[in-house]
């Protein structure tokens, strides 16, 4: 098991009983992030959480922290943020296929060039997990899985029994994670719940261009996945202007993943176009 | 069974902890195969009964343990799994419990069987993967390794899967140098696309110098062993033996590679194998050096 450099952030605050919003990787897509945060505020979120991976893929990683600050978002560290804070040579996404790693390297080099020392310091201070009690349930927020920052929890690739076990081992009733970029929710036979909140910065490989986040109404445990439209064409143009691969802009314009696909399990892969 | 120096070396070998039992493999066809590939690390073939076929009821007993222990996913291999007459029932049982992958040479897959597999895939909410082994882009490069006519019959099986709606993952043993690697991977992708497979996937595995492969090229040298220095500050999650076990008719082994090494048998039930294992074999060095995993 990993030994986290930073202990879990444990929050005890009355605001947690209200409606909560959870956003996955902004990936340097500032327009999608702003649209999602504004949507959450408009719905009356009493707290907003970000599950890490502030940069990567999108054109403006340097605009993400100021936005999270503006909306007072409570943020944990994704593999990207950890890699940047540690000065690592790669993003640590956990891809195993050379084709996936080729594009991952491009995105990481781009993001790393645009990340200041001050930002790296702040990334290094982000917690690994966030925990709180709400309505008697133990919530655990993490990036990949409760045990690994870069573990992919794909909907079709995790047995119920496995999710039950890792929730139990993490002493959580409701686990919210991200990292894969595809949102899903599951209520397990024991009543424990898993939510993958998806990622804000890259569409969900479903031919739609919206950004997704997770919404938890006040006094409820039923998470709703919310799509938010934004000016995706402008982001695609930003990407082209900044010299990012045309494949990235194509994904933003069409809602279909064109890169880092090899990691997808059969069922998720079959849903996409490529 | 190989007479291995594993028990002597084990005294000094570093140990891999079992961090979490996430993956369970089944040697569902034992070491029985309709092919006799020259690089097979467990020397499978029509007459090899080192490990026997597993019955559906036998697999089902282990599947109960799989559920109890919170295993994430399952893999079925051989030998050739489709020589096992109960394979469809076994896969059906497995897919009720967890995401499942079956590894095959596809030579026994016709349209009817592909249709049966597609029905299994439709009936489950979990991913069902079919991995098809091939070792060359043409009969001229594949058949000397896998056997006369196997390129044609394997491609025919892959086409049947595709027609039925299953996109197989092509599994290739790396019989070429690292320098040639990128170009060859792309050509395997292109081969799949030429069959009409729109989302081609290719998994490349290293060679393990065991079984028939030791005769084809060479066995492990004494210096190809891991020492404690190799695993200082090492992330054991990179080794599949930290998160998986292999079930055969002869019990539970540490990994899919070492089932012919007596010292690699860890128990009769999965629960008995939830403990560390000495990384004493040359094959352990291969996994460490290449970062290889038999998983998808």
* A4 domain-assigned: no
* A6 domain-assigned: no
Across chain B, which distance is largest between two alpha carbons, in Å?
Answer: 53
Chain A stretch 134-193, residues whose beta carbon is closer than 8 A to a beta carbon of chain B: 147-148, 154, 156-159, 161-162, 164-166, 168
The answer, for B290 touching chain A at a CB cutoff of 8 Å, is no
**Three-state SS sequence of B1-57:** CCCCCHHHHCCCCCEECCCCCCEEEEECCCCECCCCCCCCCCCCECCCCCCCCCCHH
pLDDT in tens, B213-253: 999 999 999 999 999 999 999 999 999 999 999 999 999 99
Are the C-beta atoms of residues B265 and B251 closer than 8 Å to each other? yes
**Residue B121 and residue B94: Cα distance in Å, rounded?**
12
Assigned superfamily of B20-221+243-274: Aldolase class I (3.20.20.70)
The CATH number of the domain holding residue A244 is 3.60.21.10
pLDDT in tens, B132-176: 999 999 999 999 999 999 999 999 999 999 999 999 999 999 888
Q: Which domain holds residue A117?
A: 17-271
B96 to chain A: closest CA residue = A159
Q: To the nearest whole number, what is the mean pLDDT of chain B?
A: 94
Is the pLDDT assigned to residue B5 strictly greater than 60? Answer: no
Which residues touch B150 (CB under 8 Å, ≥6 apart)? Answer: B35, B105, B107, B142, B143
**Residue A255 and residue A233: Cα distance in Å, rounded?**
11
Looking at chain A, list the stretches that DSSP marks H as alpha helix, in order from N- to C-terminal side: 30-42, 64-70, 79-86, 98-113, 117-124, 160-169, 232-241, 246-254, 266-271
Is the pLDDT assigned to residue B96 strictly greater than 70? Answer: yes
Q: What is the pLDDT of residue B178?
A: 78
Q: What is the pLDDT of residue B9?
A: 61
Instruction: Compute how many other C-beta atoms are within 10 angstroms of the C-beta atom of residue B36.
Output: 15
Question: Cα(first)–Cα(last) distance of chain B, in Å?
Answer: 28
**Residue A139 and residue A17: Cα distance in Å, rounded?**
12
Which residues touch B222 (CB under 8 Å, ≥6 apart)? Answer: none
The answer, for B156 touching chain A at a CB cutoff of 8 Å, is no
Complex ipTM:
0.94
Question: Cα(first)–Cα(last) distance of chain A, in Å?
Answer: 35
**Residue B87 and residue B28: Cα distance in Å, rounded?**
8
pTM above 0.90, yes or no: yes
Which residues touch A173 (CB under 8 Å, ≥6 apart)? Answer: A137, A138, A139, A167, A191, A192, A193
The answer, for A265 touching chain B at a CB cutoff of 8 Å, is yes
Are the C-beta atoms of residues A272 and A250 closer than 8 Å to each other? no
pLDDT in tens, A202-252: 999 999 999 999 999 998 999 999 999 999 999 999 999 999 999 999 999
Q: Flag if B199 and A261 touch (Cβ within 8 Å).
A: yes
Domain range annotation of chain B: 20-221+243-274
Chain B stretch 51-90, residues whose beta carbon is closer than 8 A to a beta carbon of chain A: 66-73
**Residue B39 and residue B261: Cα distance in Å, rounded?**
17
Burial A57-76 (b: 16+ CB within 10 A, else e): bbbbbbbbbebbeebebbbb
Q: Flag if B71 and A157 touch (Cβ within 8 Å).
A: no
Q: How far is CA B248 from CA A55, A224, B17, B92, B215, in A?
A: 45, 44, 21, 19, 24
Instruction: Compute how many other C-beta atoms are within 10 angstroms of the C-beta atom of residue B148.
Output: 9
Q: Flag if B19 and A1 touch (Cβ within 8 Å).
A: yes
Pair type for strands B244-248 and B73-77: unpaired
Q: What is the CA radius of gyration of chain B?
A: 18
Which residues touch A183 (CB under 8 Å, ≥6 apart)? Answer: A24, A195, A196, A197, A198, A204, A212, A214, A225
**Residue A222 and residue A44: Cα distance in Å, rounded?**
17
Is the pLDDT assigned to residue B4 strictly greater than 60? Answer: no
Query: Domain count of chain A?
Result: 1
* pLDDT < 50 positions in chain A: 1-4
Residue B116 CB burial class (10 angstroms; 0-12, 13-18, ≥19): middle
Give the minimum alpha-carbon distance from B124 to chain A in angstroms, rounded to a whole number. 9
Q: What is the layout of strands, in order, in the sheet containing A211-216?
A: A74-75, A47-50, A20-23, A211-216, A224-228
* A2 domain-assigned: no
* A25 domain-assigned: yes
The answer, for B99 touching chain A at a CB cutoff of 8 Å, is yes
Q: What is the pLDDT of residue B160?
A: 98
Q: How far is CA B99 from CA A6, A76, A158, B74, B135, in A?
A: 33, 30, 7, 6, 26
Q: Flag if B199 and A270 touch (Cβ within 8 Å).
A: yes
Considering only CB atoms, A156 lies closest to which of B66, B99, B293, namely B99
Task: State the best of A170, A266, A270, A272 to mutate against chain B, taking most chain B CBs within 10 Å.
Answer: A266
Confidence label for B6 from pLDDT (cuts 50, 70 and 90): low
**Three-state SS sequence of chain B:** CCCCCHHHHCCCCCEECCCCCCEEEEECCCCECCCCCCCCCCCCECCCCCCCCCCHHHHHHHHHHHHHHCCCEEEEECCCHHHCCCHHHHHHHHHHHCCEEEEECCCCCCHHHHHHHHHHHHHCCCCEEEEEECCCCCHHHHHHHHCCCHHHHHHHHHHHHHHHCCCCEEEEECCCCHHHHHHHHHHHHHHHHHCCCCCCEEEEECCCCCHHHHHHCCCCCCCCCCCHHHHCCCCHHHCHHHCEEEEECCEEECCCCCCCCHHHEEECCCHHHCCCEECCCHHHHHHHHHCCCCCC
Q: Flag if B167 and A272 touch (Cβ within 8 Å).
A: no
């Amino acid at each position: 098991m990993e030994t986290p450099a930073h202990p879990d952030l444990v929050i005890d605050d009355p605001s947690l009983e209200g409606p909560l919003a959870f956003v996955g990787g902004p990936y340097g897509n500032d327009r999608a992030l702003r649209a999602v945060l504004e949507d959450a505020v408009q719905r009356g979120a009493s707290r907003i959480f970000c599950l890490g991976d502030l940069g990567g893929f999108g054109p403006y990683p340097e605009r993400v922290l100021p936005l999270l600050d503006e909306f007072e978002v409570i943020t944990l560290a994704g593999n990207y943020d950890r890699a940047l804070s540690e000065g690592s040579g790669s993003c640590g996404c956990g891809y195993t296929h050379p084709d996936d790693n080729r594009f991952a390297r491009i995105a990481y080099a781009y993001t790393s060039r645009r990340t200041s020392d001050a930002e790296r310091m702040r990334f290094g201070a982000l917690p690994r997990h966030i925990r709180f009690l709400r309505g008697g349930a133990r919530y655990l927020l993490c990036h990949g899985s409760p045990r690994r920052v870069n573990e992919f929890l794909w909907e079709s690739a995790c047995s119920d029994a496995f999710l039950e076990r890792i929730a139990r081992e993490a002493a959580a009733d409701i686990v919210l994670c991200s990292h894969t970029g595809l949102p899903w929710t599951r209520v397990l036979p024991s009543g424990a719940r898993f939510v993958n909140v998806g990622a804000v910065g890259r569409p969900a490989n479903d031919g739609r261009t919206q950004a997704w986040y997770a919404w938890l109404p006040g006094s409820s445990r039923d998470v709703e996945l919310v799509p938010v439209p934004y000016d995706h064409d402008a982001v695609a143009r930003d990407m082209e202007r900044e010299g990012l691969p045309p494949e990235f802009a194509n994904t933003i314009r069409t809602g279909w993943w064109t890169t880092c696909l090899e990691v997808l399990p059969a069922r998720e892969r079959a849903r996409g176009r490529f | 069974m190989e007479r291995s120096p594993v028990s002597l070396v084990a005294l000094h070998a570093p140990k891999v902890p079992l961090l979490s039992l996430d993956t369970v493999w089944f040697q569902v066809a034992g070491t029985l195969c309709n092919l006799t590939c020259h690089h097979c690390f467990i020397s499978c073939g029509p007459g090899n009964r080192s490990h026997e076929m597993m019955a559906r009821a036998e697999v089902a007993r282990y599947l109960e343990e799989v559920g109890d222990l919170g295993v994430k996913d399952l893999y079925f291999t051989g030998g050739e799994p489709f020589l096992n007459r109960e394979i469809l029932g076994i896969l059906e049982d497995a897919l009720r419990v967890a995401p499942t992958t079956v590894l095959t040479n596809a030579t026994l897959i016709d349209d009817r069987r592909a249709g049966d597999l597609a029905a299994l895939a439709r009936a489950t909410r979990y991913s069902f993967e079919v991995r098809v082994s091939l070792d060359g882009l043409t009969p001229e490069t594949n058949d000397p390794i896998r056997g006369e006519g196997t390129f044609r019959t394997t491609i025919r099986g892959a086409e049947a899967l595709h027609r039925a709606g299953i996109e197989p993952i092509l599994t290739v043993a790396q019989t070429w140098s690292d320098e040639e690697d990128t170009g060859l991977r792309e050509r395997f992708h292109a081969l799949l696309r030429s069959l009409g497979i729109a989302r081609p996937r290719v998994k490349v595995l290293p060679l393990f110098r065991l079984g028939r492969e030791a005769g084809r090229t060479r066995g492990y040298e004494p210096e190809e062993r891991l020492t404690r220095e190799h695993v200082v500050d090492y992330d054991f999650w990179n080794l599949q033996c930290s998160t998986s076990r292999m079930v055969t008719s002869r019990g539970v082994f540490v990994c899919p590679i070492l089932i012919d090494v007596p010292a690699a048998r860890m128990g009769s039930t999965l629960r008995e194998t939830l403990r560390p294992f000495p990384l004493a074999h040359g094959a352990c060095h291969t996994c460490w050096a290449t970062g290889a995993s038999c998983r998808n």
